[in-house]
Amino acid sequence: MADLSTSLGRLRLPNPVLTASGCAAAGKELSQFFDLAEIGGVVTKSIMLRARSGRATPRMAETPSGMLNSIGLQGPGIDSFLAHDLPWLKKTGARAVVSIAGGHTDEYVALAKRLFNHPVDLIEVNISCPNVESRGQVFACDPIAAGRVISAVRRAAHPNVPVFAKLSPDVTDIGVIARAVTDAGADGISLINTLLGLEIDLDTLQPALAGVTGGLSGPAVRPVALRCVWQVHQSVPHLPLLGMGGILTGQDALRFLLAGASAVSVGTAVFHDPSAPVRILRELDAELDARGFRSVADAIGFAHKSPEQRAALLGRPSETVPA
């Protein structure tokens, strides 16, 4: 059995499989299917300052090998989250990664301050929701705006709590955005958020989503996500990455580690297999073992390494490792 432990900045995790934001609120529904403390952590739905009902319905549409969502940041707001959801989640023994979202830098700062005295293991700063009122609010599309939000949150958050920036794939060069948030003080990067998409309903001859556009997730986006992890690892090699996008199996999770992720989030898969995170964790363990990896740490970024480094990590002569 491989050593599955990993870290996201100063946060140590027993294993590298977490849930993905937005696919299971604060984890209560998933806890009917498995022990939340068994996985690396639970990433909450992005929380905002005030309760929101989100966009009009329909707000989900199936697409080939994926789905579109146009939820529009529905949620209970920070007061209810701190009073009910977070205490409940921590009582399960799970590590709590709290995703925060806002329309302005001040809102992100206010959220980070509200979280200061609560048991939060990591803050994921969602600057990449595609379902906001204007594209100008997708801060992750602009290196200056992205850096501004992240540096303000880093200053406001508890110094012991890692701050991760969640990036969008819908940019020309994700490496530029990654460097901007790193320079702004991000302790790590989560990627990717959904890609902006659209579906037309042939019965109504109208867009399938009331919000017209939505975020594409699921296996359809996995190669895009993997490419983003690869590029960001090259751009900021020392920064821990939380990789996600269409992960359905342990093999998928392993691909993200090899491309440079220190841990992965499982999202869309839970809609048809609610215990996917624990299944993927078991499968990942077997996949590591089958390839001679003694630890998750040895697999992180492995695909970027030279043949000599790869041979040393696997404890094998270099001529037995594929060039």
Alpha helices in 12-142 (DSSP H): 78-80, 86-91, 105-115
Shortest distance, CB of residue 267 to ligand RRO, whole angstroms? 9
Residue 213 or 295: which CB sits closer to ligand RRO?
213
Residue 21 or 151: which CB sits closer to ligand RRO?
21
Residue 73 or 258: which CB sits closer to ligand RRO?
73
Shortest distance, CB of residue 291 to ligand RRO, whole angstroms? 33
Query: Residue 100 corresponds to which amino acid?
Result: I
Shortest distance, CB of residue 194 to ligand RRO, whole angstroms? 4
Shortest distance, CB of residue 296 to ligand RRO, whole angstroms? 26
For 13-26, letters b (16+ CB in 10 Å) and e give bebbbbbbbbbbbb
* Residue 289: partners with Cβ closer than 8 Å, 6 or more residues away: 1, 2
Q: Where along the sequence are the contacts to ligand RRO (CB under 6 A)?
A: 22, 46, 69-73, 101, 126, 129-131, 193-194, 215
Task: Name beta bridge partners: 196.
Answer: 215
- The residue annotated as part of the active site, out of 23, 129, 141, 228, is 129
In eight-state DSSP terms, residue 78 is H
Query: Residue 299 corresponds to which amino acid?
Result: A
User: Could you confirm whether 23 is annotated as catalytic?
Assistant: no
Residue 55 or 95: which CB sits closer to ligand RRO?
55
Could you tell me if 167 and 225 are in contact, meaning their C-beta atoms sit under 8 angstroms apart? no
Q: Which residues are catalytic?
A: 129
